[in-house]
Amino acid sequence: MNEIGINTEKAKILAHRLNDLLANYQIFYSNVRGFHWNVRGEKFFELHLKFEELYNDLIVKIDEIAERILTLGLSPEHRYSKYLGVAAIEEAGQTSDGTENVENILKSFSNLIEKQREILQLSDEAGDEGTNSLMSDYIREQEKLVWMYSAFLNKN
């Protein structure tokens, strides 16, 4: 058992999965910053603010994930070269098209939610309430954001 009472091997598996999630969040964060900087057109003011709101939320979650990895007794990855090698979310090309940006955001949320659900199940099996709670909160928040961004695109 590690210092917080979780099986050491299960903690390592969770930390590995959280590092993968961290890589995806970091790439997503960079993409959204780029969307914020480069968006143009009719919905500029609305999207510019929404993208800023989103990247501010992502940076908080990035820190929480890294600190959870440390709490489990392992080290969070910090190198973008490693992130790019493992992340399922890809770097977005520069785009000023708000609709394309929102579609990219929806695809990224889908990826994150899937990964978080997997971690949620693993953390439940490990008796890791801290990670479980974090993933549950993220999923709930992001499901609502998926609904809202989908409504923006008139996909609901």
pLDDT digits (tens, 9 = 90+) for 40-71: 999 999 999 999 999 999 999 999 999 999 99
* Mean pLDDT score, 80-108: 97
Q: How many domains does the chain have?
A: 1
pTM for this model (two decimals) = 0.97
- Domain membership of residue 24 (yes or no) is yes
- Domain membership of residue 93 (yes or no) is yes
- Domain membership of residue 45 (yes or no) is yes
- Domain membership of residue 1 (yes or no) is no
Per-residue confidence (pLDDT) for residue 82, from 0 to 100: 97
CATH number at residue 27: 1.20.1260.10
* Mean pLDDT score, 2-20: 97
Average pLDDT, the chain: 97
Per-residue confidence (pLDDT) for residue 8, from 0 to 100: 97
Which domain covers residue 84, as residue numbers? 8-152
- Domain membership of residue 37 (yes or no) is yes
SS3 of the chain: CCCCCCCHHHHHHHHHHHHHHHHHHHHHHHHHHHHHHHCECCCHHHHHHHHHHHHHHHHHHHHHHHHHHHHCCCCCCCCHHHHHHHCCCCCCCCCCEHHHHHHHHHHHHHHHHHHHHHHHHHHHHHCCHHHHHHHHHHHHHHHHHHHHHHHHCCCC
- Domain membership of residue 102 (yes or no) is yes
- Domain membership of residue 3 (yes or no) is no
For 107-124, the pLDDT digits (tens) are 999 999 999 999 999 999
Rounded-to-integer distance, Cα 138 and Cα 81, Å: 25
Q: For residue 156, is pLDDT > 70?
A: no
Per-residue confidence (pLDDT) for residue 155, from 0 to 100: 85
Q: Which of 110, 113, 104, 107 is nearest to 140 (CA)?
A: 113
Q: pLDDT band for position 106 (50/70/90)?
A: very high
- Domain membership of residue 109 (yes or no) is yes
